[in-house]
């Protein structure tokens, strides 16, 4: 007599993806509510652009300010007034970035300079439109909340794809490891990077699901690849480059991926239209607008050639910048955050490398070489104009693939993790998140973070640890109930 397959609902894991996203949401709310309005990295620039795009100014602005970074956009005066204090506290801003550059018109709109004035408008219309009903600092908070919703929908989609395609809990572990404080921060504030990171997570999840070849996962993975690649390209000027390099990095798995795509040829062809159109549109927009042209805000005296120290220290610095973050791009997290993160990732990398096939090892080598090679090449090419401006988070859409490839190696071998091992790992990651967010909130509140704020952050991190642990244990139970055994 045949034994029916276990019912996921009976073993309590059908809500695993939702639990994971709720755990991340608890962290995101700490950043969203705890970081004062307009206090995050370049947030006022992005809110200005979002407010302008939501009112119909989709094209890149080319109007030069008299004394400001970027170009002029039309924004409600109350939004500029709400951002003034935070904007003027920064060293790199100029008067037209922080105060109106014109008198208000009949609709209450003023000119203000934004360094994001020539960025691709898709994300800005998505987060700017809901904020039309708000004014002042509430516009920034509404944009943050809209960004959280956009990102979490993508992360939930990635979790569902994993659930269809995975043999073990390891791909889910990879997602938990990939969502470092850098990504949680980026998905919680009014800036497009977090949306791009979330799209890249979906893209990597879909690619590896197609490579795994489970028939039930193929249609969803094809849609995920289409949406993930399109979002990654639309979120940042370098998005099309990262998608192209990701395609190169997975060439050792190309045969398996193509086999899955051929099984649903019509769906694959239709799904390819979305990233194709988005990619072409973004590249055309960037080429015509000169987005992120390093010569626009170049130092008048120049920085000269990139010193050797910048070249050899860069990869180490960029690695740390992908693990934890300060409030601003040039500020580090506490050393303890990096120490715990390095130890946790080190254990995972060691286990994964021992199980990886030569194809996955080749993919890992390509990801590392292309990710850091591109960063070094762009640093050297633009050093005279903008100095050592490159940040590790810029290449995350590509380099996060290391975690997902190692997770795929463990999944491919059918290694079933021990529950207490994963709980310990989640506890370590929770410590990294707590130390990082407390340091950022302390700085954002100018050394006046209250006891209540610390307690709220600690409670949110505990909720993250509990929800994530329950989700991972549920995944282990589900796979064991299907007949797998620990390796």
Confidence of residue 99 (pLDDT cuts 50, 70, 90): very high
- As a whole number of angstroms, the distance between CA 122 and CA 199 comes to 14
Domain boundary residue, one of 92, 116, 133: 133
Q: Is 116 inside any structural domain?
A: yes
CA pseudo-torsion sign 372, 378, 383, 389: negative
Q: Is 7 inside any structural domain?
A: no
| Per-residue confidence (pLDDT) for residue 482, from 0 to 100 | 62
| Per-residue confidence (pLDDT) for residue 312, from 0 to 100 | 86
Tell me what the mean pLDDT of segment 15-29 comes to. Answer: 94
CB-based contacts of 329: which residues, under 8 Å, 6+ apart?
41, 391
Buried b (16+ CB within 10 A) or exposed e, 178-204: bbbbbbbbbbbbbbbbbbbbbbbbbbb
> Tens digit of pLDDT for each residue in 132-163?
999 999 999 999 999 999 999 999 999 999 99
Q: Is 100 inside any structural domain?
A: yes
| Per-residue confidence (pLDDT) for residue 91, from 0 to 100 | 87
Kindly state whether residues 278 and 314 are assigned to the same domain.
Answer: yes
| Per-residue confidence (pLDDT) for residue 204, from 0 to 100 | 98
**β strands within 54-157, DSSP E:** 71-76, 109-114
Kindly state whether residues 149 and 183 are assigned to the same domain.
Answer: yes
Kindly state whether residues 116 and 158 are assigned to the same domain.
Answer: no
- As a whole number of angstroms, the distance between CA 484 and CA 487 comes to 9
> Tens digit of pLDDT for each residue in 348-376?
999 999 999 999 999 999 999 999 999 99
CA-nearest of 62, 54, 106, 104 to 80 is: 104
> Tens digit of pLDDT for each residue in 121-133?
999 999 999 889 9
Kindly state whether residues 221 and 115 are assigned to the same domain.
Answer: no
Q: How far is CA 272 from CA 163, 226, 277, 412, 424, in A?
A: 23, 6, 9, 27, 41
Greater model confidence, 120 or 485? 120
CB-based contacts of 134: which residues, under 8 Å, 6+ apart?
141, 142
Total tally of structural domains belonging to the chain: 2
Does residue 4 carry a pLDDT above 60?
Answer: no
Q: Is 424 inside any structural domain?
A: yes
The Cβ-side half-sphere exposure at 177, using a 13 Å CA radius, reads: 30
Helix pair angle (335-355, 170-178), 10° resolution: 150
- As a whole number of angstroms, the distance between CA 202 and CA 44 comes to 28
Confidence of residue 221 (pLDDT cuts 50, 70, 90): very high
Kindly state whether residues 211 and 360 are assigned to the same domain.
Answer: yes
Q: Is 338 inside any structural domain?
A: yes
Confidence of residue 6 (pLDDT cuts 50, 70, 90): very low
> What is the 3-class SS of 223-273, one letter each residue?
HHHHHHHHHHHHHCCCHHHHHHHHHHHCHHHHHHHHHHHHHCHHHHHHHHH
Calculate what percentage of the chain has a pLDDT beyond 90: 79
Confidence of residue 14 (pLDDT cuts 50, 70, 90): low
Kindly state whether residues 165 and 312 are assigned to the same domain.
Answer: yes
Helix pair angle (193-212, 239-249), 10° resolution: 20
| Per-residue confidence (pLDDT) for residue 480, from 0 to 100 | 74
CA-nearest of 47, 29, 28, 27 to 38 is: 47
Domain boundary residue, one of 107, 133, 159: 133
Calculate what percentage of the chain has a pLDDT beyond 70: 95
- As a whole number of angstroms, the distance between CA 112 and CA 68 comes to 8
| Per-residue confidence (pLDDT) for residue 298, from 0 to 100 | 64
For the chain, how long is the longest CA-to-CA vector? 82
The answer to whether the CB of 158 falls within 8 A of the CB of 224 is yes
Confidence of residue 481 (pLDDT cuts 50, 70, 90): low
Write out the residue range of the structural domain in which residue 449 sits: 16-36+141-294+302-481
Confidence of residue 299 (pLDDT cuts 50, 70, 90): low
Tokens describing residue 368: 């590392």
Q: Is 9 inside any structural domain?
A: no
Does residue 9 carry a pLDDT above 70?
Answer: no
Kindly state whether residues 80 and 23 are assigned to the same domain.
Answer: no
- As a whole number of angstroms, the distance between CA 397 and CA 194 comes to 10
pTM, two decimals, is 0.94
Kindly state whether residues 69 and 156 are assigned to the same domain.
Answer: no
| Per-residue confidence (pLDDT) for residue 308, from 0 to 100 | 84
Confidence of residue 297 (pLDDT cuts 50, 70, 90): low
Greater model confidence, 297 or 62? 62
DSSP 328: S
- As a whole number of angstroms, the distance between CA 268 and CA 225 comes to 10
> Tens digit of pLDDT for each residue in 374-383?
999 999 988 8
Kindly state whether residues 88 and 190 are assigned to the same domain.
Answer: no
Q: What is the dihedral of CA 460, 461, 467, 469, to 10 degrees?
A: -170
> Tens digit of pLDDT for each residue in 433-449?
999 999 999 888 877 77
Kindly state whether residues 247 and 106 are assigned to the same domain.
Answer: no
Q: Is 195 inside any structural domain?
A: yes
CB-based contacts of 283: which residues, under 8 Å, 6+ apart?
240
The owner of tokens 């130390």 is 435
- As a whole number of angstroms, the distance between CA 185 and CA 188 comes to 5
Tell me what the mean pLDDT of segment 168-184 comes to. Answer: 96
The answer to whether the CB of 73 falls within 8 A of the CB of 117 is yes
Does residue 85 carry a pLDDT above 50?
Answer: yes
Does residue 486 carry a pLDDT above 50?
Answer: no
Confidence of residue 165 (pLDDT cuts 50, 70, 90): very high
> What does the mean pLDDT of the chain come to?
91
Kindly state whether residues 102 and 237 are assigned to the same domain.
Answer: no
Q: How far is CA 95 from CA 74, 92, 101, 109, 328, in A?
A: 16, 10, 8, 17, 20
Kindly state whether residues 324 and 445 are assigned to the same domain.
Answer: yes
Confidence of residue 389 (pLDDT cuts 50, 70, 90): confident
Q: Is 357 inside any structural domain?
A: yes
């Amino acid at each position: 007599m045949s034994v029916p397959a276990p019912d996921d609902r009976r073993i309590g894991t059908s809500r695993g993806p939702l639990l994971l996203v709720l755990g991340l949401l608890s962290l995101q709310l700490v950043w969203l509510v705890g970081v004062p309005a307009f206090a995050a990295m370049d947030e006022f620039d992005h809110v200005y652009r979002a407010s302008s795009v939501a009112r119909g100014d989709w094209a890149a602005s080319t109007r030069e300010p008299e004394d400001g970074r970027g170009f002029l956009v039309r924004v409600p005066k109350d939004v500029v007034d709400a951002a003034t204090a935070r904007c003027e506290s920064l060293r790199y801003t100029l008067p037209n970035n922080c105060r109106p550059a014109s008198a208000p018109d009949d609709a209450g709109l003023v000119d203000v300079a934004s360094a994001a004035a020539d960025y691709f408008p898709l994300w800005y219309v998505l987060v700017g439109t809901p904020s039309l009903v708000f004014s002042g600092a509430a516009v920034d908070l509404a944009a943050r909340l809209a960004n959280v919703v956009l990102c979490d929908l993508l992360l939930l989609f990635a979790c569902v794809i994993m659930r269809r395609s995975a043999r073990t809990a390891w791909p889910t572990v990879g997602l938990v490891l990939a969502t470092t404080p850098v990504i949680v921060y980026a998905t919680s504030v009014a800036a497009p990077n977090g949306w791009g990171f979330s799209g890249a997570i979906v893209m990597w999840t879909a690619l590896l699901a197609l490579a795994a070849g489970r028939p039930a996962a193929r249609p969803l993975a094809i849609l995920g690849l289409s949406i993930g690649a399109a979002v990654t390209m639309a979120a940042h000027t370098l998005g099309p480059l990262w998608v192209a390099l990701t395609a190169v990095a997975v060439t050792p798995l190309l045969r398996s991926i193509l086999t899955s795509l051929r099984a649903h040829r019509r769906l694959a062809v239709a799904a390819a239209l979305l990233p194709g159109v988005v990619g072409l549109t973004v590249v055309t927009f960037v080429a015509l607008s000169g987005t992120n042209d390093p010569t626009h805000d170049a130092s008048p005296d120049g920085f000269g050639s990139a010193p050797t120290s910048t070249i050899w220290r860069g990869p180490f610095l960029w690695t740390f910048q992908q693990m934890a973050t300060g409030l601003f791009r040039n500020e580090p997290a506490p050393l303890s955050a990096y120490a715990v993160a390095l130890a946790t990732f080190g254990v995972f990398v060691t286990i994964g490398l021992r199980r990886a096939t030569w194809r996955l090892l080749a993919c890992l080598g390509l990801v590392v070489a292309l990710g850091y090679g591109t960063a070094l090449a762009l640093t050297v090419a633009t050093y005279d104009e903008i100095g050592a401006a490159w940040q590790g988070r810029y290449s995350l859409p590509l380099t996060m693939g290391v975690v997902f490839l190692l997770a795929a190696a463990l999944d491919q071998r059918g290694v079933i993790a021990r529950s207490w091992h994963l709980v310990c790992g989640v506890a370590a990651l929770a410590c990294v998140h707590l130390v990082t967010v407390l340091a950022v909130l302390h700085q954002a509140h100018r050394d006046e973070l209250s006891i209540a704020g610390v307690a709220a952050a600690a409670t949110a991190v505990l909720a993250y640890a509990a929800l994530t642990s329950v989700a991972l244990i549920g995944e282990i139970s589900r796979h064991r109930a299907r007949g797998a055994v620990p390796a």
